[in-house]
Amino acid sequence: MHREIHSWWSPSLHKDMEIVTYGHYGRALLMFPTAAADYLEYERFQVIDTISPFINNGTFKVFSINSINNESWLNNWMNPADKSKRHQEFNSYVINEVVPYIFNHCQGYVPIITSGASFGALHAANTFFRNPGLFAGTLALSGSYDLKDYTKGYYDDNVYFNSPADYLKHLTDEHTLQQLRNHKTITIAAGRGDYEDPGASVYFSNILHEKGIKHWLDLWGQDMPHDWPTWRKMYPYFLSKI
């Protein structure tokens, strides 16, 4: 499997940020790490191995980036307003730096599907739903789509506009809604095992239904915990359906 690692000084985040690429060509899969993990997490936990057939046959070209959650919502020592601001800076990094990098690396426009598990699922879904004209869909596994689950009671406009369960519920702009309704690949999945919260996926799915946004909600069994064995099974299954 072809593998490249690059990094650059991010003007959005004011730090070096790494990105790893797997494969030569195909639709782009942009992966967000869980919790406070890094860009190699999906490789360490063998997810990349499980999806290698899709990479090697050119169905997907995978890009995995760093998180900065330990510099925002998972940092218990930061002022909440600074956490909120840092989250917005991360959004800027993804849209203004990572997306152009993907297009440049692919030598032109390619459909990009965002993806992630756990906290990565929230970032993946939020990135897609905030920018439906830029992305082709999202594959979100075992996530909560209400950012307030991470903010410990803090709430401001940045929290609202990064919490898909909040802003989609009140979305009335027909242009944006039409973009979300037209030919998008939206998959929301979770297990029912230990430490999973399938109710969060059901709640979010209901919001999408109310807005007429087609999507696939898939809840797996009680033998599927909130852990890597579940996601190693889910990733190849769902990529085979896209």
Residue 175 main-chain phi, psi, to 5 deg: -65, -45
pTM for the model: 0.97
pLDDT above 80 (res 98): yes
Instruction: Tell me the residue range of the domain where 175 lies.
Output: 3-239
What percentage of residues in the chain have a pLDDT greater than 70?
A: 100
User: How far apart (Å, rounded) are the C-alpha atoms in residues 60 and 58?
Assistant: 5
Half-sphere exposure of 149 (CA within 13 A, CB side): 15
pLDDT band at 53 (very low <50, low <70, confident <90, very high): very high
CA dihedral 227, 131, 206, 143 (to 10 degrees): 10
Segments in 131-223 forming alpha helices (H):
157-160, 164-167, 174-181, 198-210
Domain CATH code at residue 89: 3.40.50.1820
pLDDT band at 110 (very low <50, low <70, confident <90, very high): very high
**How buried is 146 (Cβ within 10 angstroms: 0-12 exposed, 13-18 middle, 19+ buried)?**
middle
Q: What is the mean pLDDT of the chain?
A: 96
How many Å is the Cα radius of gyration of the chain?
17
What pLDDT shows up at residue 210? 96
Mean pLDDT to the nearest integer, 203-212: 97
Cβ contact 142:231 at 8 Å: yes
Segments in 69-173 forming alpha helices (H):
80-93, 99-105, 119-130, 157-160, 164-167
What pLDDT shows up at residue 184? 81
CB atoms within 10 A of CB 170: 9
- Find, among 119, 124, 138, the residue nearest to 69 by Cα: 119
DSSP state at residue 134: T
CB atoms within 10 A of CB 99: 19
What pLDDT shows up at residue 157? 95
DSSP class per residue in 107-121 = TS---EEEEEETHHH
What pLDDT shows up at residue 216? 97
- Give me the number of domains the chain comprises: 1
pLDDT above 90 (res 183): no
Mean pLDDT to the nearest integer, 76-85: 94
pLDDT above 90 (res 36): no
pLDDT above 90 (res 108): yes
**What are the distances in angstroms from CA 65 to CA 120, 127, 183, 203?**
10, 13, 26, 28
What pLDDT shows up at residue 222? 97
What pLDDT shows up at residue 132? 95
Reported as a single tens digit per residue, the pLDDT across 129-159 is 999 999 999 999 999 999 999 999 999 999 9
What pLDDT shows up at residue 214? 95
